[in-house]
Amino acid sequence: MVQHQVRGFLTITDDCSFRISQFDMLSGSDVHFWGSIAPDFDNLTKGFIISDYKLNETYKNASFSVKLSQNATWDQIQVLSIWDLLTESDFGHVILSNGSDLAPALSPNLAPAPSGNGSEEGKSGPFRVPTMFDNCKVLSNDYRIRWSLDGDFIDIGLEAAITIQNYMAFGWANPNANSEIMIGGDVAVAGFSEEGMPFVDDFFITRYSECTIDKDGSAHGVCPDTIYEGSDPVGLVNNTKLIYGHRRDGVSFIRYRRPLVSVDTKYDLPVNYTENMTVIWALGLMRPPDTIRPYYLPQNHGGPMSVTYGHLVLNVSDQVNECLGPLDAADKEDQDLIIADANKPLVVTTGPAIHYPNPPNPSKVLYINKKEAPILKVERGVPVMFSVQAGHDVALYITSDLIGGNATLRNKTETIYAGGSEAEGVLASPMELIWEPDRNTPDLVYYHSLFQKKMGWRIQVVDGGLSDMYNNSVLLDDQQVTFFWTLSKDSISIAARGEKKSGYVAIGFGTRMVNSYAYVGWIDDIGVGHVNSFWIDGRDAPSVHPTNENLTDIRCKSENGIITFEFTRPLKPCSHNDQVECKNIIDPTTPLKVIWALGTKWSDENLNEKNMHFETSHRPIQVFLMRGSAEAEEDLRPVLAVHGFMMFLAWGILLPGGIMAARYLKHVKGDSWYQTHVYLQYSGLAILLLGLLFAVAELRGLYVSSAHVKFGLAAIFLACVQPVNASMRPKKPANGEEVSSKRHLWEYLHFIVGRSAIIVGIAALFSGLKHLGDRYGDVNAHGYIWALILWFAFGTMIVTYLEYQEKRRRRGSRILGRSNWVLGNLEEDDSIDLLSPARASAQKDAEHSGRMEVQLEPMNR
């Protein structure tokens, strides 16, 4: 089958007629029997109607005869197809060789009528008509099983009207099972990968749970046989063999083969085809593989019995045909959906046709944002930008014609809304095409190549949307989630939209999911949308903690499996800090790091491993809320390490060292203390300014918001005041003169500013390490803080010891000064601390006693 669930048998009765039996088909627009000389795209589209019989209804196991048109003969017909004229669609076909001899194609839809040698064909190789079977059993309204016996093997076809994210399970129950009929069951689990490829695996059920592996390596639950027994190089454990699979019209079909009796007697049950045996089945969501479990794993089917799971007694040797009519899925659209946003370019390229929705088609079709012929959803009044990089032989245009390729060449009319022969480009030189749908644009138009038919697909045109409701939007990492926001004075409105089908969408604020604040939007089992906030402090499900953030204007919806959720929250969640959500503060002036995750299923209670994501961002995106832009976060920790080291060198070594030189080295002869003081202070100041410029350049701005930045700027300001203060130092008094009040004032100012700069600088160091841990999630931040505490504690001990020695030295100098004349030094003794109380009392004593210093000259002058 190609589409519309076409299935049946074809028998040529004579030179001008044929018979169709057991025929199933969903209705089309203008459907006819069609003939062509070959099954390729060009020849099929150049075919012709071979009968006046019209197929414009739904057929359910119908049988009828058809006469060829007067101008049609079997010699002209190499391929007989069921063809929709309006859409130029092939619903299904068979290939006829040598005129009337039937030779089914590799993946046909109509099979030759059964004959006596039909079983011989099955024995000689795989079925050439993989959608046809001898028997069919209805398991539920949306699930069927088909089967055919072939010697020691049984071919099974699983067919269900489900989404592509769901699995189909079928197998045999343990004949010795008690009331828990599925325990010990041997089942095949089939479905489609994220790339749309079919798969089937052999599973064994030991517990009613998703497959889990203990620390000792033992597996429990619904697990593949290969997990229990390790690798399976020769197919002894996994005894299911995939034959064929397709997704058509929202229906999954998988055909596989298994032996009736397997060599694996531990995890495979023998099937006695002549006896009544209990079979079990289920439908449900599946979890994609990850690095730990490289399998698609079924999750709990949920739902009521006989709808999503069940069991029955089946004898596979009985002739059964309960399947009357095709399965009619409610959602027949499997194509990816891309929602276009203003000023976000849609990259148009070409690629191989793998799952083109309207066969037949050329081998090369249009891709948009790396997705094959997706459905585009655009909003009226919102410009759509295409970056055309599909090559010079592909000219993009927006048209009213479903087929494209310039309808005038087919003698049909079309309306062209944008693009044309000039809309072509390559990767090195893309062409930008901007199209703005207006109020007169129809709800459904198409994007195609002007030079080739059937390369594009549909465009849905709707009124309004997220782009109109929010001021800013960015694509997050890997372009799988779009983040929208609008800032207000005290709040922010946020929306997140997944760009692929999933069960839930989560965004988080932080560099990774651990230690981040997350918001999850999901749809429950009854179709109700939810949005909740969480704090995540680990990598397992118990580490996801709900929070009580004040979220308002909550909305969550799913459209074709694409989840969008919205909410509004305050910038500062609460005034007190006793709850974890109170720390989730959004500062619009600071880049907000945003991450995302997609998963299969979420719940607001009893989270477990099956709720963990199947895909997540690889790195955070820095969102500049004020500027309305974003960029991938670079690892700034090396930059911060250099900045932090420079600041530690300045505030922890050089500047304190300069102060200590002025305080404790004045007794050394000469002005070495002064030179040391100046060199250390200016070196520290230079490193301070370089560290500041380094951080500002790397962070691309100076944001005075955090305590660290405020402390740092205050400390740098005080440090810069010191050299200015030093240049304005009043003249030192001559020997015997009284120190002026300006000199006193300068000394006090120099002392206070210098010590204050050191204190504030140390506070900046500690707040910087705290900022490193809080904002950037550095796990070593606490260790750095303790190391800094020990460093300054050690420095305090050294200063205490030097201060003690300085007091002793000054006390000894005063005693010596009372019994000796000052000889040979007319300058002021700078070793005396100008701010010391001892100096003030000494000056007062000298004034009261009226003593005069006398200089004695050497006698031999």
Nearest partner of 531 among 571, 488, 565, 481, judged by Cα: 565
Is 33 in contact with 66 (CB distance < 8 Å)? Answer: yes
460 and 474 together in one domain: no
Residue 276 lies in a domain: yes
Mean pLDDT to the nearest integer, 343-353: 91
Burial of 456 (0-12, 13-18, 19+ CB in 10 A): buried
pLDDT level of residue 239 (50, 70, 90 thresholds): confident
Considering only CA atoms, which of 640, 609, 531, 522 is closest in space to residue 299? 609
Q: Does 360 sit behind a cis peptide bond, omega within 30 degrees of 0 on the bond before it?
A: yes
Percentage helix, strand, coil, to 5, in the chain?
Answer: 25, 35, 45
Question: How far is the C-alpha of 477 from the C-alpha of 615, rounded, in Å?
Answer: 12
Residue 566 to residue 519: CA distance in whole angstroms: 10
* pLDDT average, residue stretch 802-821: 68
The pLDDT of residue 539 is 81
What is the reported pTM?
0.59
Say whether both 644 and 773 belong to one domain.
yes
| Domain of residue 768, residue span | 637-730+740-805
* DSSP class of 835: T
Residues 166 and 278 in one domain: yes
> Does any domain span residue 813?
no
Asked if residues 269 and 181 have their Cβ atoms less than 8 Å apart, the reply is no
Domains identified in the chain, total number: 5
Q: Are residues 306 and 162 in the same domain?
A: yes
The Cα 460–Cα 376 span in angstroms is 6
Question: Does residue 235 carry a pLDDT above 70?
Answer: no
Q: Which long-range contacts (CB under 8 A, 24 or more apart) does 463-471 make?
A: 463/379, 463/380, 464/379, 464/380, 465/339, 465/379, 465/382, 466/339, 466/341, 466/495, 466/497, 466/564, 466/566, 467/341, 467/342, 467/379, 467/382, 468/379, 468/381, 468/382, 469/495, 470/495, 471/628
Contact between 245 and 254 under an 8 Å Cβ cutoff? The reply is yes
Distance CA(91)–CA(360), nearest Å, equals 9
202 occurs within a structural domain: yes
Q: Tell me, what CATH number does 387's domain have?
A: 2.60.40.420
- CATH number of the domain to which 784 belongs: 1.20.120.1770
Q: How high is the pLDDT of residue 145?
A: 96
CA dist., res. 247 & res. 283, Å (int): 16
pLDDT tens digits, one per residue of 395-417: 999 999 999 998 888 888 999 99
For residue 460, count CB atoms less than 10 angstroms from its CB and return exposed for 0-12, middle for 13-18, buried for 19 or more.
Answer: middle
Hey, what are 653's tokens?
């070594």
Last residue of a domain, one of 432, 465, 498: 465
Q: Which is higher by pLDDT, 246 or 852?
A: 246
Which has more confidence, 317 or 265? Answer: 317
Would 612 be classed as within a structural domain? yes
Mind listing the pLDDT tens digit for each residue in 408-447?
888 889 999 999 999 999 999 999 999 989 877 899 999 9
Whether 854 maps to a domain, the answer reads no
Neighbours of 33 (CB within 10 A): 22
Enclosing H/E stretch for 756: helix 741-776
pLDDT tier at 677 (50, 70, 90 boundaries)? confident
Instruction: Kindly state the tokens that stand for 829.
Output: 């003794």
Reported as a pLDDT band with limits 50, 70 and 90, residue 563 is very high
Question: With pLDDT > 90 as the criterion, what percentage of the chain qualifies?
Answer: 38
Q: Which two tokens stand for residue 417?
A: 């809304």
**Partner residues linked to 492 by β-bridges:** 487, 569
CA atoms 815, 819, 823, 826: torsion sign: positive
Whether 152 and 282 map to the same domain: the answer is: yes
The answer to whether residue 818 sits within a structural domain is no
**Residue 46 in tokens:** 């150049």
300-327: pLDDT as tens digits:
887 888 899 999 999 999 999 999 899 9
The CATH number linked to 476 is 2.60.40.1210
Residue 856 lies in a domain: no
| Domain end call among 790, 805, 820 | 805
In a domain, 843, yes or no: no
Is the pLDDT confidence value at 234 over 60?
Answer: no
